[in-house]
């Protein structure tokens, strides 16, 4: 298990990390999400020894991490870290010794990502730390990378942590999510646990043939969002959804009616706001 314990880091007057703690267990995929500048990359670089923390600790399997341990880690930085004049195979062999195709500079962004992923995997690591790994990939490339990460975790027991702004992918792939904001952990847990922690009684109703805010007559019902004929309503726990449906039928033709589960993107917006 990778453990980040109370990590703190400043850059001058800027507080990048302010007591960040979380774990990445073997065989699990952990999504590390947050706004730009929230501290994701700083935490990842400290985990790999690229940066030093001002305070706090990083441990692997309960022990301090040294150079020999870090050789068993795979890292994929957000920035391109490839040698642009070196052939792909030569580069992968070189990187493998440290811990197919044309020259690197002629590769597309997506193919550069594939090479960097190969570089992170070539030595069969026990931990994968990936910073925005899906950036620049087409849908097929996204599916290939997602399958690779799932195989590494499920079949080989690799601990995987990756950051991404593509929250629908995080929601689909990850066993757990860590949400960082302004250098602090704002929320963490499984997707289900995050939903439960911010549980709301949301219902989407689409009524055709009315422009009225027909739901206003019921105390304890507020509109979370309106999109044309459809509205998502936030109901107090005392409100019976069937009463809401009866009101909708009286207002016009009900096209659809059902409970709403917030997406991870919507949970993220709620947390950081």
Query: Which domains occur in the chain, in start order?
Result: 2-191 (3.40.50.300), 198-272 (3.30.70)
Of 120, 142, 146, 126, give the one whose Cα is nearest residue 24: 126
pLDDT at 99: 55
> Cβ(134)–Cβ(145) under 8 Å?
yes
pLDDT at 160: 96
pLDDT at 80: 60
CA–chain centroid gap for 10, Å, is 24
pLDDT at 23: 95
Of 20, 55, 56, 39, give the one whose Cα is nearest residue 185: 20
> Cβ(230)–Cβ(256) under 8 Å?
yes
For residue 55, what are its two tokens?
A: 């305070």
- Predicted structure pTM score: 0.75
Name all contacts of 58-67 with Cβ < 8 Å and 24+ positions apart: 58/2, 58/3, 58/4, 58/5, 58/7, 59/2, 59/3, 59/5, 60/1, 60/2, 60/3, 60/127, 61/1, 62/1, 62/3
pLDDT in tens, 45-81: 999 999 999 999 999 999 999 888 988 898 888 766 6
**Residues with pLDDT less than 50, the chain:** 100-102, 104-106
């Amino acid at each position: 298990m990778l453990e980040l314990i109370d990590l703190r880091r400043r850059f001058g007057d800027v507080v990048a990390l302010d007591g960040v703690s979380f774990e990445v267990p073997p065989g699990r995929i952990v999504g590390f999400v947050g706004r730009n500048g929230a501290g994701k990359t700083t935490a990842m670089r400290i985990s790999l020894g690229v940066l030093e923390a001002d305070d706090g600790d990083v441990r692997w399997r309960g022990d301090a991490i040294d150079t020999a341990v870090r050789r068993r880690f795979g890292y994929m930085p957000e920035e391109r870290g490839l040698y642009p004049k070196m052939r792909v195979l030569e580069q992968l062999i070189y990187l493998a010794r440290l811990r197919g195709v044309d020259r690197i500079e002629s590769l597309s962004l997506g193919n550069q990502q594939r090479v960097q992923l190969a570089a992170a995997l070539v030595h069969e690591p026990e931990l994968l730390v990936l910073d925005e790994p899906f950036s620049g990939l087409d849908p097929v490339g996204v599916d290939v990378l997602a399958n690779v990460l799932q195989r590494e975790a499920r079949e080989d027991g690799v601990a995987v942590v990756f950051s991404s702004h593509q929250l629908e992918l995080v929601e689909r792939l990850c066993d757990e999510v860590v949400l960082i904001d302004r250098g602090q952990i704002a929320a963490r847990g499984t997707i289900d646990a995050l939903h439960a922690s911010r549980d709301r009684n949301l219902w989407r109703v689409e009524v055709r043939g009315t422009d009225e805010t027909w739901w206003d007559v019921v105390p304890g019902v507020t509109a979370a969002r309106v999109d044309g004929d459809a509205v998502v309503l936030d109901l107090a726990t005392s409100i019976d959804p069937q009463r809401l449906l009866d009101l909708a039928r009286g207002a016009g033709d009900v096209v659809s009616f059902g409970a709403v589960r917030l997406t991870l993107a919507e949970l993220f917006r709620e947390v950081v706001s």
